[in-house]
Structure 1
Amino acid sequence: METLTLQELAELKGCHRVRIQQLVTEGFYKSVQVKNSRGRLVHAIPLDQLTEEEQQKYYQSKGILNTKIEVQNAEKLELMSTEEREECVFWENVINEWQSFRNKENARNKSEVDELFITKMKLEHPELNISTSILYRKFKALKNGDLEGLIDKRGKAKKGYTKIDEHVWQVFLSFLLDQAKHPLRKCYQYTQLYIQNKAPELYEDIPAYCTFTRHVKSDIPDAILTLGRDGDKAFDDRCAPYIRRTYDNMDSNDYWIGDNHTIDVIVGDGEKTFRLYLTAFMDARSGIMTCIYITDTPSSQASIYSLRRGIKKYGIPKNVYLDNGREFLTFDFGGSGHRKKKKDEDKFTPPPILERLGINMVNALVRNAKAKIIERRFLDFKNSISRLFATYTGGNVVEKPEILKVELKNGNIPEKQAFIKEIEELIEYYLNYEEYNGAVAADKGKRKIDVYQENLHTKTTATEEQLNLMMLRSTRAQKVTRRGVSLKIGGTQLDYFNNELIMQMLNKKVYLRYDPDDLSKVRVYDLDDRFIMEVESDNVAVLEYGASKDEVKLAMAKTRELKKVAKEAIKDSIIANIDRNTALELLLKSAKDNKDSDVSKPNYDLEILNADEKPMLYKVHDVDLDKMNINSIKRQGGDYYA
């Protein structure tokens, strides 16, 4: 503890020693007893009882630098490494200790004291390079606020550094920051060749290859390398700042995120094995899957079925967040989104289903790696559910279990319909009931389904009839012909016709809305989206087989298959040189033979009757329209003037 005698404090404050004694008596200072140079106990005042200005004045009078004095150019600390900062602190402590050591009262010869202090430091720090001149130089640097003067820079100025000419470096970067992704060594070789041809005077001064690699690692930021060598998308995905979505102020049903997922389980239907697809929508606020539909192939129809299921149970969302797949961006479901082309802007398109439901569609940026947050839920589905089944395939070859072949050989294959039922139950009543692990800290520990219910403040619903009407599929615009209007399903054209439609709308453009599960009728709308009428199908034969879209497709597939088999059977059964002409020749010969052999005579009386039938339509004489108009005017009491 540093102290001042009463006399030293009086000299420092510029007053008499008696005044200091008086201040001690009054309790302004608290004195302590210390031994003086003669070993006697005297009263002294601890230095920390003085003001900062008085302490600074004391240190200056002793020639000691106060470590609390603000150092000039302190901002240079930010440019130093951790090691350099530690070196500054070390030398600051050494200098202060040295000054205290040499300014003690019993120190008579300063030079001897300095030598003793240097010896002491060498014993405590054998690796330290220290001398009297170094101490004075460090002291001067610290006193002047020159922090860099405290750092030993010997060998550091050029350590790991070789100068590369600016023009040479730019040439090297031109080859390096190219999306061809030339290897670094090739960039170096190309640089040598370029300089040799374009600037030969710089060729001899090109440093070694390792110098360039060192500068690439130390001088080129990763963001620049990524943008230059991998392009804009890679930069956006890996380096660009991203927008953090906030969920605290979001309600349930504000946003549903939709996507498709290939289920990593092989199932069967008795004839073949395959994998199914899950079309799902996830509520962004709670993380529950609101819409579930399992299908053989992702399609816009599967998206509609999935959305319809979710709406019936959870209500209509305000927004849906979709990627740019064709199963979502079809013209009559969500619209074209980013797929819309300029040439289609003037073409008529019916209002899509999402618009009729009042749902705003938000599309992810094309090929945006940060957009698919529902993929996390699909990963949960894979790890929690898909792995439970014997025929789990894994998401890739690396994940594929070795036992899969054995399970398939033994026939341990889930049956399709039973599998679908189990998956729907597990998603609805297992995954949706798991603990919430989203971004809102206040909801941690709750079940997802409870988070959904707590944050559902408004639920928009629709009756079954309204939902049926709003979720009908649409066609593009078509002209009403003499055969009415038509749908093309699975390569088959279904016609819809009635007299009223032909009489009122012939050659006018309309579009149709239809239910894929009931193709027996369609609803006809004009291009201003006004309902005209409902028209029944004219394809009785097709509808007798089956009225749904899938059934029509299946029927056509079976018809084509049967036709192929029949053709093969005919080909195997006929003689190649017998054709249609052969049959004709046979019939002609038979007719000739019958003619030649017919020698019979009639054995009845012939009676000819006069036909007195009158035609239904009589010939109408020419009509004098002028005469008819004159008579009409006279009958109504008017006068006619020629």
Structure 2
Amino acid sequence: MIYLNVKEYAELSNMSERHIRRLAANGDVNCITKTNSNNQIYYLIPLTELSPTEQLKYYKSHSIAIPEALLVGKKAKSQRPHKEFDEFTAAQREEIARWIRIIKAWDEYCAKSKLSKVNATEKFIELQKVANPEINISKGILYRKKAALKADDLAGLIDNRGSWKKGTSTIPDVAWDCFMSFYLDEAQHPIKACYEYTEMWLKQEAPELLPLPAYSAFYRKVQNDIPKPLEIMGREGMKAFRDRCAPYIKRTYEGMVSNEWWIADNHTFDVQTKGADGSVHRLYLTAFFDARSGIFTGCYVTSAPSSQATLIALRKGIMKYGIPENIYVDNGREFLTFDVGGLGHRTKKSQKGKFTPPPVFERLGIKMTNALVRNAKAKIIERRFRDVKDRLSRLFPTYTGGNVVERPERLKFVLKDDDKIPTDEEFTNAVEDILTYYMNEKPYSGAVNSDSGKTRMQVYREQLKEKRIASELDLNLMLMRSTRSQKVGRRGVHLTIAGEKIDYYNDELILNYFGKDMYCRYDPEDISTVRVYDLQDNYIMTVPVDNDAVLAYGSSKDAVAKALRKVKSFEKLTKQELKATQITALGKKTALELVLATAEENKLKSDELSPKIISVHRADEDPAEIKQAVGQNNIVKIDKAKMIRNLEERQREE
């Protein structure tokens, strides 16, 4: 037995020495513990604890002959274990029963025959070949089968030709490990390519293992020996493994009651509708669905899924069916919003430990559960949305289908006729009626067999043990949106809408709470006021808006946001037009460059002046009265009158 110290083992296994010592100390790797002369503990680890590839690396580096067992991965033959009759396959049991009948018939034939046993046996074999030509039978086979039956060795009665090869392979373990490293890769290399890569690796690392067995041997081993879950995890990734192979918790519905679990999600309608502005688009459905009965509880048709659409759908469901105990949602932002359901796993490190207002679900006493991220099994509401597609969307002439293949040929002609395109209002009204009064009354098709034959609404009513309700005023308060905590400033408190601050102010707020941390609750449909709370969630006061934008655009948050976006959009468009105009007029040159160029051009065209008469004009001001220029103290003064007289005298002399 070859033993390695920690350093050698770490180098071969590509792990740190510290990690190897920890494994050895915890007993996670077989080893021998010893003490050196300094009374320090050290470990010796058998070479066999390494993988075949790593063992091969050790043998090569130390120029040691590679053991036969490492070169060829054959399993040692062992004594055939005893097996009971019911442990064999159906085909093997049939073969055993047939040989038992043949041996019994042989004994009876020999007993009744007047011939000697040898002659009778030969005669019996000839008769069996005629009666059962598909059976391979001879005197030797017949005696071996009888001996096996007498020894209670049922396995000896079946045809074991080739069975000794089962569980063995001519592929060396090292070669197979190398092949698997290429095959179990998310690049999903073909088997043939992995075979070639393995051959290339062996040429460099272990040429003594060449030539490899035929490609067909690797192909058969891939098909028969690699567990499917391992193959999916290695070649397709963890998500595919979890979706297709990993065990999951089967939801039980027998003990569930109505309103115990509501499931929420969004769905895109496969229907084209026409908006108030004439645009053609597809709308979305934000829906809550009761898990026990299968009815749609709260539904809202919207132009875009959002946290506000979620609250509207929830409010409509609560008003009609009561408050649910639990809500099961995915990880969309329309659910994981800090003031709706809370941020959950999206909470930033910088926000942890800081005060956040209680979200809407918490104020309603609803526990929110989030599906695992990218978990295909979590979308149980998708089955109901399939019903929405088949039983609702297909009813409309502008049905688009879920993809290009499903798209009806008539659609391109229908969209040319405005009268055939339903308006958003018409479609919304139809959706609400169909979901509430048609689909909710369809037969129950859930997992509880005892409810088979009932309608979904009937199941909901029968299983509704408790209905939690709230007054409309209380519900309005509980469904209000919240801001994060903020300090009361000189402008009071604020909401941020479309990137703009909307201020809320009164004298009492500033006088009593200036500089203190507060948060606000507000109704998105009426933002003319906000309710101010302290960080202990105590109501302080209601504060009016102090901004002309709300008065100018209306009190709805969406209306204000839309108006502000229009203003910004127009401003942006104007800037773009201005920029385009400047580029058109000036090109890539500035105004200064253009002026200088023109000046240079005019300079070249100019001629030297040649006047016929030159006259001198005197200044009207008295030279003595001309004020000295600033900074002229150190400059020599010029007598202008004397200069003029000298000039006149020269002209007379000429």
TM-score range, shorter chain: 0.7 to 0.9
Map of 2:495 onto structure 1: 487
Map of 1:213 onto structure 2: 219
1:57-80 Cα distance to aligned partner (Å, 9 max, x none):
xxxxxxxxxxxxxxx9334753x4
Structure 2 residue identity aligned to 1:471: L
Distance 1:570 1:129 in 2: 98
Distance 2:85 2:390 in 1: 53
Residues 1:429 and 2:432 are matched in the alignment? no
Shift of 1:331: 0.2
Q: State the aligned residue count.
A: 504
Shift of 1:376: 0.3
Shift of 1:148: 2.0
1:439-465 Cα distance to aligned partner (Å, 9 max, x none):
000011110010000000100000000
Distance 1:576 1:73 in 2: 100
Map of 1:500 onto structure 2: 508
Matches within 5 A, 1:169-568: 169-204=176-211, 206-269=212-275, 270-411=277-418, 412-540=420-548, 542-563=550-571
Distance 2:159 2:179 in 1: 34
Shift of 1:554: 2.1
Evaluate the alpha carbon distance shift between residue 570 and residue 185 of structure 1 in structure 2; reply closer, same or farther with a 3 A threshold.
Answer: closer
Residues 1:111 and 2:86 are matched in the alignment? no
Shift of 1:115: 2.9
Q: RMSD across aligned C-alpha pairs, in angstroms?
A: 2.4
Evaluate the alpha carbon distance shift between residue 326 and residue 565 of structure 1 in structure 2; reply closer, same or farther with a 3 A threshold.
Answer: closer
Structure 1 residue identity aligned to 2:475: L
Distance 1:107 1:340 in 2: 96
**Contact 2:83/2:155, CA 8 A, preserved across alignment:** no
Distance 2:468 2:387 in 1: 29
Distance 1:464 1:311 in 2: 10
Structure 2 residue identity aligned to 1:299: S
Shift of 1:490: 2.0
Shift of 1:396: 1.6
Distance 2:129 2:577 in 1: 107
3-state SS in 2 of match to 1:362: strand
Distance 1:76 1:212 in 2: 34
Distance 2:401 2:181 in 1: 43
Map of 1:24 onto structure 2: none
1:549-600 Cα distance to aligned partner (Å, 9 max, x none):
11112222333455567778999999989x9xxxxxxxxxxxxxxxxxxxxx
**Contact 1:226/1:234, CA 8 A, preserved across alignment:** yes
TM-score, scaled to structure 1: 0.75
Evaluate the alpha carbon distance shift between residue 134 and residue 569 of structure 1 in structure 2; reply closer, same or farther with a 3 A threshold.
Answer: closer
3-state SS in 1 of match to 2:357: coil
**Contact 2:257/2:465, CA 8 A, preserved across alignment:** yes
1:590-626 Cα distance to aligned partner (Å, 9 max, x none):
xxxxxxxxxxxxxxxxxxxxxxxxxxxxxxxxxxxxx
**Contact 2:528/2:550, CA 8 A, preserved across alignment:** no
Shift of 1:382: 0.3
**Contact 2:549/2:560, CA 8 A, preserved across alignment:** no
Distance 1:179 1:422 in 2: 47
1:215-251 Cα distance to aligned partner (Å, 9 max, x none):
1001101111011112222111111111111000000
Evaluate the alpha carbon distance shift between residue 336 and residue 565 of structure 1 in structure 2; reply closer, same or farther with a 3 A threshold.
Answer: closer
Structure with bigger gyration radius: 1
Evaluate the alpha carbon distance shift between residue 259 and residue 118 of structure 1 in structure 2; reply closer, same or farther with a 3 A threshold.
Answer: same
Distance 2:108 2:581 in 1: 120
Structure 2 residue identity aligned to 1:147: L
**Contact 1:175/1:182, CA 8 A, preserved across alignment:** yes
Shift of 1:544: 4.4
Shift of 1:113: 3.0
3-state SS in 2 of match to 1:330: coil
Structure 2 residue identity aligned to 1:316: I
Shift of 1:178: 1.7
Distance 2:84 2:367 in 1: 53
**Contact 1:162/1:207, CA 8 A, preserved across alignment:** no
**Range 322-331 or range 227-236, more displaced:** 227-236
Evaluate the alpha carbon distance shift between residue 234 and residue 76 of structure 1 in structure 2; reply closer, same or farther with a 3 A threshold.
Answer: farther
Distance 1:407 1:246 in 2: 46
3-state SS in 1 of match to 2:529: strand
Evaluate the alpha carbon distance shift between residue 76 and residue 234 of structure 1 in structure 2; reply closer, same or farther with a 3 A threshold.
Answer: farther
TM-score, scaled to structure 2: 0.73
Map of 1:55 onto structure 2: none
Q: Which runs of 5+ in 2 are unaligned?
A: 1-80, 592-654
1:110-134 Cα distance to aligned partner (Å, 9 max, x none):
3343233222211211232222332
Evaluate the alpha carbon distance shift between residue 541 and residue 173 of structure 1 in structure 2; reply closer, same or farther with a 3 A threshold.
Answer: closer
* Overall identity of the aligned pairs, in %: 54
Structure 2 residue identity aligned to 1:209: Y
3-state SS in 2 of match to 1:409: coil
Distance 2:130 2:548 in 1: 110
**Range 397-406 or range 312-321, more displaced:** 397-406
Distance 1:251 1:507 in 2: 49
Distance 1:146 1:175 in 2: 44
Evaluate the alpha carbon distance shift between residue 379 and residue 138 of structure 1 in structure 2; reply closer, same or farther with a 3 A threshold.
Answer: same
**Contact 2:504/2:543, CA 8 A, preserved across alignment:** yes
Distance 1:438 1:515 in 2: 38
Map of 2:82 onto structure 1: 73
Structure 2 residue identity aligned to 1:478: Q
**Contact 1:283/1:289, CA 8 A, preserved across alignment:** yes
**Range 535-544 or range 209-218, more displaced:** 535-544
**Contact 1:253/1:283, CA 8 A, preserved across alignment:** yes
3-state SS in 2 of match to 1:74: coil
Distance 2:245 2:549 in 1: 62
3-state SS in 1 of match to 2:141: helix
Evaluate the alpha carbon distance shift between residue 341 and residue 99 of structure 1 in structure 2; reply closer, same or farther with a 3 A threshold.
Answer: farther
**Range 365-374 or range 410-419, more displaced:** 410-419
Map of 1:166 onto structure 2: 173
Shift of 1:177: 1.1
Q: Which runs of 5+ in 1 are unaligned?
A: 1-71, 580-642
**Contact 1:196/1:203, CA 8 A, preserved across alignment:** yes
Shift of 1:543: 2.1
**Contact 1:338/1:363, CA 8 A, preserved across alignment:** no
Evaluate the alpha carbon distance shift between residue 107 and residue 531 of structure 1 in structure 2; reply closer, same or farther with a 3 A threshold.
Answer: farther
**Contact 1:332/1:352, CA 8 A, preserved across alignment:** yes
